[in-house]
Structure 1
Amino acid sequence: MSSITLQKLAELVGGTLSLGGADSVITGLNSLHEAVPGEVTFLGNARYLPGLKTTRASAALVPEDLDGEHAREGLSLIRLKNPTLAFSNVIRFFGPPPVEFVPGIHPTAVVAADAACDPQKISVGPNAVIEGGVQIGDGCTIGAGAYIGRGVKLGEGCVIHANAVIKEYCVLGRRVILHSGSVIGSDGFGYEMVQGRHQKIDQVGIVQIDDDVEIGSCTTIDRARFGRTWIGEGCKIDNLVQIGHNCTLGKHCIIVSQTGISGSTRLGNYVTMGGQVGVAGHLEIGDQVMFLAKSGVTKNILEKGAYTGYPARPLMEGRKMLSLPAKIPDLLERVRELEKKLAALEKSAVQS
């Protein structure tokens, strides 16, 4: 079991130790609510501040401006600018060793003779399939059962996890990560009604994914009808996201689980979409626009800021609209009371 003194731990994360003995030993890590003596935890969100009073942890990583009165007596504090980010160093210290890069191609993998790669500088797992004309950069890892279609290009250092699929002619930059079950380059959803039947429209474009993009499990990104569906540098896409054909995502966008973006919609840079956001097709979304969970985007939104509701509106307006349905029962009751009073007045007038 790994262990480390509090002083060494503070040095590891780049923080300042206060309210604790430098020689005390930490043997593990856990959440605020589940930690036990001997473990370290962290405060990454102000909503969990009361947990510092009740946690059983021996130490906690906290913001550097935290008032010590918020913490339980005897809890050692390590102060730093970003406890959440710093806790990653703690996880690496106590966690299992990272999976080593083992170069070579497993005997059960199927690799086309004309695939361009250096077998001593890539790692290909069991039963993976690499079709003809593929180009694979040095340092790439292709997991068990993954499929790399004809003419695909992978930049250096990509990680294609088990059972991920990249279909023909798609282009990935450097250090792209695809998690298991993701599918890059499925046909775009395109049909025309001809004589009472849906006739498929050919989808002959590609998907281009730029450097440092990470794509979650079971996410699908459709190839363009022609041209490209384009995912910009640094985008992080969660599990279970659908991105339609010919969409463009700018740099460093965040797209959260169960979001769907319809075809030919263009996002600017640093766009954030919460869970279950739905976006109509052929729209323009500006830089630094944020949509809260379950928003419905039905028109162009170019001004940066936060939006919510269906259809999505600026944050305060959207919240006001979302609150109105809860007032309907009370409004109905008031209407009934007014109707009763009006009926009584009419009856009184008739009698007089």
Structure 2
Amino acid sequence: MAYTIEQIAAALGAEALGAVDIEVEGVAEPADAGPHQLALAMKPEYAEALPQGQARAAMLWDGADWQALGLEAAIVSPRPRFALSGLSAMMDPGQGWQDGVHPSAVVHDTAELGDGVSVGPLAVIGKGARIGAGTVIGPQCFIGSDVVLGAQGGLREGVRIGARVMIGDRFIAQPGAVIGSDGFSYVTPEVSGAEKVRQTLGDQGEIKAQKHARIHSLGAVSIGNDVEVGANCTIDRGTVRDTVIGNGTKIDNLVQIGHNCIIGSDCLLCGQVGLAGSVKVGDNVIMAGQTGVADNIFVGDNVITGGATKLMSNVPKGRVMLGYPAIQMDSQMEIYKGLRRLKRLFRDVADLKKTVSNNSQSD
């Protein structure tokens, strides 16, 4: 679908300049943009590549001299990357799945599908499931019994949702996501070596082999509105109560959330983050890739962790953490700088010892 520059700017709350009746059918990077595409030159360094393409119009930063860049029209926004959110939604062609229920889909007689629900090939919807209006169920998805999935959601290929999971509106799940797998909960007949190590921080006592008995997951998963879950992400159901994900939280690919975790609203969990069981996370928390969180700890509101951070104890609200074990980022960086200076320090100490030794001998 084509839009004029004026239409796009109006939808984004941005300013349209120049030949605002120019139509574009998509977006592209400056060097690759054709005459019917909007170039995304949102920083001066990006705009340097405009002469390599054929764009007539571009999205630019506030204050950019669009005419000097050889453009016929421009869209200017004080925060271009935020404007890109709305622009990308306008230009997204979707996955191309057909409307309605595909003949190969299996939908239980007791399942309820709202108006405009689409169900792709080979999808399975269990008994008592309720799917909100306008939601799209992709090919080969599985939705278990008594699942509630809100309106205007979208499940990509191969998403699995276990029984009794409750999900709000506008939920998005990428291919292979698993919501409501059983928790990793086992117990031994007698106190195990792992339990002793937790108490002693090293001594597991008398070593003996023990069998692990499974603790079944009787809870489910409860997910709020406007949540997104990445490809091959896994969210375990609770042991007795539900695992909970708050409104607006975004979860990246390959994230593992253990049983009984409670995640607040508007959090960002980046790729390969791992949360052990019963972790409680506040609102607006950002965890960079490969952050690991030990079980049964609390992470306060507005905490940010750097890449590969390992949280081993509670973190107060507002902290910025880094390292393993995690400490405040500024302290961690000072330690890192000190480590880099160690070789020079050893050399200086060796030289100093030699000087002192020589002086002693001369005396």
Q: TM-score, normalised by structure 2?
A: 0.81
Give 1:187's aligned residue.
182
Matched residue of 2:188: which SS? Answer: strand
> C-alpha distance in 1, partners of 2:8/2:150?
36
Which residue type is aligned with residue 302 of structure 1? P
Indicate the SS of the match to 1:50. helix
- From 45, 49, 59, the counterpart of 1:50: 45
1:313-352 per-position Cα deviation (integer Å, ceiling 9, x unaligned)? 3332232223333223322332333343344445x25xx6
Q: How does 1:209-248 map to 2 (within 5 A)?
A: 209-248=223-262
Go from structure 1 to structure 2 and tell me whether the alpha carbon gap of 1:172 and 1:97 turns closer, same or farther (over 3 Å shift). closer
Question: How far apart are the structure 1 equivalents of 2:3 and 2:167?
Answer: 41
| Residue identity matched to 1:270 | N
Look up the equivalent residue of 1:78 and give its one-letter code. Answer: I
Shift of 1:54: 4.3
2:82 corresponds to 1:85: yes
Q: Describe the shift of the 1:14–1:222 C-alpha distance in structure 2 as closer, same or farther (beyond 3 A).
A: same
- Return the alpha-carbon distance in structure 1 between the equivalents of residues 183 and 47 of structure 2: 50
How many residues get paired?
340
Q: Distance in 1 between matches of 2:108 and 2:91?
A: 41
Preserved CA contact (<8 Å) 2:27 2:40: no
The sequence identity of aligned pairs, in percent, is 32
What is residue 146 of structure 1 aligned with on the other side? Answer: 141
Deviations 1:131-179 (A, max 9, x none): 2232333333222111112222222233222211111221112221222
The answer to whether the 8 Å contact 2:115/2:134 transfers is: no
Q: 1:155 to 1:51 in 2, by over 3 A?
A: closer
* Matched residue type, 2:28: N
Deviates more, 1:232-241 or 1:79-88: 79-88
Q: Distance in 2 between matches of 1:59 and 1:67?
A: 13
Higher mean displacement: 310-319 or 160-169: 310-319
RMSD after superposition? 3.0
Pick aligned residue for 1:109 from 105, 108, 114: 105
**Partners of 2:114 and 2:20 in 1: CA distance:** 49
1:151 maps to amino acid: D
For the 8 Å contact 2:5–2:74, the answer to whether it is kept is: no
Aligned counterparts of 2:164 and 2:23: Cα–Cα separation in 1: 54
Tell me the residue number matched to 2:351. 337
Aligned-pair distance for 1:10?
Answer: 4.3
User: Cα–Cα, structure 1 residues 111 and 6, in superposed 2: closer, same or farther, change >3 Å?
Assistant: closer
Deviation at 1:17, TM superposition (A): 4.2
- The code of the aligned residue for 1:86 comes to A
Q: Give 1:33 deviation, angstroms.
A: 5.1
Looking at structure 1, the residues matched to 214 and 3 of structure 2 have their Cα atoms a distance apart, in angstroms, of: 62
Q: What pairs up with 1:167-182 in 2 under 5 angstroms?
A: 167-182=162-177
Report the CA distance shift for 1:94/1:128 in structure 2 as closer, same or farther (over 3 A): closer
Greater mean alpha carbon deviation, residues 239-248 or residues 309-318: 309-318
Q: CA deviation at 1:246?
A: 0.5
The answer to whether residue 303 in structure 2 is matched with residue 306 in structure 1 is no
Contact 1:43 1:83 in 2 (8 A): no
1:327 and 2:324 equivalent?
A: no
Q: SS state of the match for residue 343, structure 2?
A: helix
Of 296, 303, 308, the match for 1:294:
308
Letter in 2 for 1:294: A
Q: In structure 1, what is the Cα distance between the partners aligned to 2:44 and 2:341?
A: 33
Structure 2 stretches lacking a partner, 5+ long:
190-208
Alignment pair present for 1:258 and 2:272 = yes
> Cα deviations across residues 266-287 of structure 1 (Å, max 9, x unaligned)?
1111111111111111111111
- Counterpart amino acid of 1:160? L
State the alpha-carbon separation in 2 of the partners of residues 184 and 77 from structure 1. 43
Q: 1:58 to 1:119 in 2, by over 3 A?
A: closer
2:40 counterpart letter in structure 1:
F
Contact 1:117 1:138 (8 Å CA) reproduced: no
Match of 2:213 in 1: 199
Q: Could you tell me whether the CA contact under 8 Å between 2:128 and 2:147 is conserved in 1? A: yes
Q: C-alpha distance in 1, partners of 2:242/2:350?
A: 58
Note if 1:124 corresponds to 2:123. Answer: no
Structure 1 segments unaligned to the other structure (5+ residues): none
Task: Give the structure-1-normalised TM-score.
Answer: 0.84
> What letter matches 1:16 in structure 2?
E
Q: 1:61 aligns with which of 55, 59, 62?
A: 59
In the alignment, is the contact (CA less than 8 A) between 2:275 and 2:293 conserved in 1? yes
Whether the aligned pair in 1 keeps the contact of 2:114 and 2:134 (CA below 8 Å) is no
- Name which of 39, 42, 49 aligns with 1:41: 39
Judged with a 3 Å threshold, the aligned counterparts in structure 2 of structure 1 residues 245 and 72 are, in CA distance, closer, same or farther, namely farther
C-alpha change, 1:98 and 1:243, in structure 2 (3 Å) is: closer
Going from structure 1 to structure 2, the CA distance change for 1:225 and 1:97 (only over 3 Å counts) comes to closer
